[in-house]
Structure 1
Amino acid sequence: MIKSIFFAIFHHERGPQVLHQVPDGSITPSPPPSTDPPPLIDFDHISSHIIPKQELCDRLVTICTNKYRLLGYPVCLEDRRYERNEFIFNFAVVLDEDAEFSTYKSVVRKLAKLFKALEEQSGFLSNEVTRASVYALIEQVLEDLNNYSECMIPINESNTINIKLFPTYAPPPPVKAWHVPVSTVQLELLMDATWDLTMQKIVPHIDGINSVRRISELADADYALTKKAISHLLYYGCLTLVDIFAFSGIYAVTADISSLLADTQMQEECINYVRSSESTKIAFSDVFALYCSLSQGVTLKKWCIDHFPRLKGIDVRRFIGFGIVKGVIYRVHKYPVATNAASMPVPAKLATFLKGGSSFDEICTEMQVGEKKVLELLEGCDVQIVHR
């Protein structure tokens, strides 16, 4: 949230000056008598950065002071009509120091470029009459961006302040060939004819079962473009990535298993998702006990045999998938490690995966063979299987 917006210039006699500030008194003290709270910052202390030398103009400036962050974009215009042949101004915003500020960089850039154009066209900022409207403009910008994350404010018949704050997301995790994308929204309802062609081809094959490599093959799409499209969907939270489901896999509970016990809404979601049909009735206590029974050293196949009577009405694939997505269980991966892979009687491509950094999922996907085939190729070789 924006704490303040202000407009400052370099006065040829008095130096850096704040001409307009919203709220009043937020940057420089209001003249007495005034009931405004004290300023958020000491403007005199940072004025040389808000109105810098000409060499630092026309670029983004970020300043942290008194637990606040200031973003500005000082502009310098050279012309003989100005005192000292130049006019320097800056529209700056004030945010909390620990607030996400990347989306506000475009705000100060747009304000600077818009008012630079207005000044060049008509002297909008250097003229005291037209400059008086700046206060109302920045006041409306602050209110609209804080309340609606966008603004469209007319300045005159030809110019409008159009700004929209777009949310920022963390970079998506790397997409690997053996990852399985699971949709968190109904992609078919979001997709239209304007979507990327690769995206349109791969979406029908995103079913929580197919790996990225398999999706690329089924959609007859370039693998690199498929990865990029899936990464794009990940960025906007439309997908999550899980491991390839296999009954030979090993699963165990995480420390977050307690969150399932405490969250009644998640419990209801879990029951509705993992049951094999809508008419099936299962108790959450049974589902929770099954999750807690997963442990290292026991394959899913053996676990299903041991708990077969209790799995009535439960879809095992969805049971595992829900636990992975919610973070209450995790997959224990297997990594083959060879002491001297180069001298082993195995295919050269397989030998490159025997250094301890490649899981069986990666090996099987890249070699396009099953785990059983990989184990047959490694039979009789000096290879250790590490679970982690």
Structure 2
Amino acid sequence: MDVQQTPGPIDGLFFAQFHPKFGPQIQYKYPPDCISCDLFDKLTNFIIPKPDVLRQVVTITSLGVKVKGYPNKIEDSKYERNALLFNLCLVFKPEARTAPYRPLIHKLSDYLHSLETENGFLSDEESRKQLPLMMEQLYHDLNDTGRCVLKLKLRHPLHIAKELEQKALIEATAAEMGERRLSFSERRRWDSGPQGRGRVGVVGGVRPGGGGCGIGSVGSGGPASGETCGGRGCAMDRDTHQPEEIAVLYLKVVDACEAPVPVGEEQVPVLVKPDISEDQHLLDLTTQQILPYIDGVDHVAKIACLANVELDLAKKCVQNLVYYEIVQLLPIFQYSNVYVHNTEEMMQLYWSSVLQQKCLEYVVGDAAGEPLLFDQVFRLYAKFTRGRTVRQICYCELQLGVSFPPPPPSGVTAHTKPKLPPNVDIRRLVKFGLMHGIIRRIQQYPLYTPHFNKKHKRDRRSESQTSSSQSLRRFCDGTASYDLLCSKFCMTNKELHNRLAQDKEISILWK
């Protein structure tokens, strides 16, 4: 587990590219001291790596820094070595937690890849000048707010098409004039000469001096004055003096969330946000169907049956509600359950007046009856220990089943006042304790351990005596609790216990 609980922060960014003559180089970096040239040279094999490592997130932790990047490659014959290799990297401290930056660095690298293939962003010197400003904005925005909106100016596609066609025109002219390239001065004289002087029409291209596509032969000058190519929708017939395009990219550091907890069919969902019913129209249809049956008493299997929903689908819906902290999962309440109190949470309850008030308001049995004192509630929680069921606590502490004498008639003073039990709802007392970690459930897990004699053969007599529990043995592996088996076989806790007690090869584990 990483030392830091929050992502980052970013110490710097740098853009590295493979130069066709000098090899890997840092083109831009921010801040200027985020990484030294010597350190870059030592890590260069991982920043601009071999083809096997390309197009995947690479994290380097060495020499006092942590570098995270996504090396990318664009193959095209227009590049000097038929490929462009680049990598935009983030620099962190070695102990920084960088997992949330994985999708961001992946998205950013693919974004630059698309800009280059569609618009030549990295190849064009004017466009590349925006990279330092972009890196500075990324550094400050991601560290301050964890999100960033990048806006980059791109050349208009018609301008790019015009440049490509002019390049093709120059190459064709050079080939006609003796297979040589024109110098810059010759090119200017060629373009600024008289109309039609030495003009070359390019099949499928554009006549530089006219407004249509030149389909004439060499020296023809394209269509005559006043004529058009007649091509409907010709790109170069449109207005090329349009504003530059703006490319927008939204980035956000999304911290990785924990995987949703698995939901068992024997667990009881309890609503912790009752106001969710007001926004019920925002939920999916299946969740809307099972939500009215979540009452904090019925378990998931019974809720699925009442709502007429498949069990697996109901479990997924409850799992989604648990993930967004709308419900909380508790074990089934039974008077035969055993709970134990947690010392640390008991101390927190003892010292927190806010938690005490919440507890008293939640667990009181009759609001119009005897006032409930915190000492009574705290003493009840302390009685939850191993080997003591809820039924025993009720009989001993709440004095259930004990009749109290009626109050004396008016005018007669009683010599002794009977001690009344606390005005508490035991079910809500257990529920509040489980929800706040004050108590926890001790479950029973049956474990099937077959007995062998000296010749490693089963005792047939024992097997015949336990025939009634043969169907349960395949579930008795020490991982299925009593609650789960009761739900699967539709039995009460007492029926299951009596049935398992008949099998001498099944032991009961408490944990």
Q: The TM-score by the shorter chain falls in which range?
A: 0.7 to 0.9
Q: How far, CA to CA, are the matches of 1:115 and 1:381 in structure 2?
A: 68
Structure 1 residues 172 and 19, CA gap change in structure 2 (3 angstroms): same
Greater gyration radius: 2
Q: How far, CA to CA, are the matches of 1:121 and 1:172 in structure 2?
A: 40
2:436 corresponding residue in structure 1 = 326
**Structure 1 residues 215-364: aligned runs within 5 Å:** 215-256=303-344, 257-276=346-365, 281-308=371-398, 312-337=422-447, 340=450, 343=464, 344-346=466-468, 348-364=470-486
1:206 corresponds to 2:294: yes
Q: How far, CA to CA, are the matches of 1:54 and 1:194 in structure 2?
A: 47
Q: How far, CA to CA, are the matches of 1:360 and 1:196 in structure 2?
A: 32
CA drift of 1:347 comes to 5.0
1:24 corresponds to 2:32: yes
1:125 corresponding residue in structure 2 = 122
Q: Deviations over 1:238-293 (max 9, x none)?
A: 33322111111111112433333344443343333323466775333332222112
2:51 corresponding residue in structure 1 = 54
Q: Which amino acid aligns with 1:58?
A: R
Q: Which runs of 5+ in 2 are unaligned?
A: 1-7, 154-244, 400-419, 451-461
Assess if the C-alpha contact under 8 Å between 2:376 and 2:422 holds in 1.
no
SS class of match (1:152): strand
TM-score (norm 2): 0.67
Q: Which moved more, 1:299-308 or 1:354-363?
A: 354-363
Assess if the C-alpha contact under 8 Å between 1:169 and 1:236 holds in 2.
no
Q: Which amino acid aligns with 2:127?
A: T
Assess if the C-alpha contact under 8 Å between 1:72 and 1:90 holds in 2.
yes
Q: How far, CA to CA, are the matches of 2:357 and 2:118 in structure 1?
A: 63
Q: Which moved more, 1:99-108 or 1:109-118?
A: 99-108
2:189 corresponding residue in structure 1 = none
Q: How far, CA to CA, are the matches of 2:476 and 2:97 in structure 1?
A: 43
Q: How far, CA to CA, are the matches of 2:278 and 2:134 in structure 1?
A: 37
1:372 corresponds to 2:494: yes
Q: Which moved more, 1:44-53 or 1:340-349?
A: 340-349
Assess if the C-alpha contact under 8 Å between 1:254 and 1:330 holds in 2.
yes
CA drift of 1:14 comes to 3.1
Q: Which moved more, 1:313-322 or 1:338-347?
A: 338-347
Assess if the C-alpha contact under 8 Å between 2:350 and 2:356 holds in 1.
yes
Q: Size of the alignment, in residue pairs?
A: 377
Q: How far, CA to CA, are the matches of 2:312 and 2:334 in structure 1?
A: 25
Structure 1 residues 381 and 48, CA gap change in structure 2 (3 angstroms): closer
1:7 corresponding residue in structure 2 = 15
Identical amino acids, percent of aligned pairs: 31
CA drift of 1:387 comes to 2.8
Structure 1 residues 323 and 150, CA gap change in structure 2 (3 angstroms): same
CA drift of 1:303 comes to 0.2
Q: Which moved more, 1:216-225 or 1:353-362?
A: 353-362
1:150 corresponds to 2:238: no
Assess if the C-alpha contact under 8 Å between 2:276 and 2:326 holds in 1.
no
CA drift of 1:207 comes to 2.5
Assess if the C-alpha contact under 8 Å between 1:250 and 1:296 holds in 2.
yes
Assess if the C-alpha contact under 8 Å between 1:2 and 1:142 holds in 2.
no
Q: How far, CA to CA, are the matches of 2:361 and 2:61 in structure 1?
A: 49
How well do the aligned residues superpose, as a CA RMSD in angstroms? 2.7
1:74 corresponds to 2:71: yes
TM-score (norm 1): 0.86
Assess if the C-alpha contact under 8 Å between 1:22 and 1:138 holds in 2.
yes
CA drift of 1:384 comes to 4.6
Q: How far, CA to CA, are the matches of 1:169 and 1:308 in structure 2?
A: 44
**Structure 1 residues 147-186: aligned runs within 5 Å:** 147-156=144-153, 157-186=245-274
Q: How far, CA to CA, are the matches of 1:285 and 1:66 in structure 2?
A: 59
Structure 1 residues 74 and 188, CA gap change in structure 2 (3 angstroms): same
2:231 corresponding residue in structure 1 = none
Q: How far, CA to CA, are the matches of 1:68 and 1:274 in structure 2?
A: 54
Assess if the C-alpha contact under 8 Å between 2:142 and 2:148 holds in 1.
yes
Q: Which moved more, 1:163-172 or 1:351-360?
A: 351-360
SS class of match (1:346): helix
Assess if the C-alpha contact under 8 Å between 1:74 and 1:89 holds in 2.
yes
Q: Which moved more, 1:246-255 or 1:154-163?
A: 154-163
Q: How far, CA to CA, are the matches of 1:212 and 1:255 in structure 2?
A: 30
Q: Which runs of 5+ in 1 are unaligned?
A: 30-40
Assess if the C-alpha contact under 8 Å between 1:182 and 1:208 holds in 2.
yes
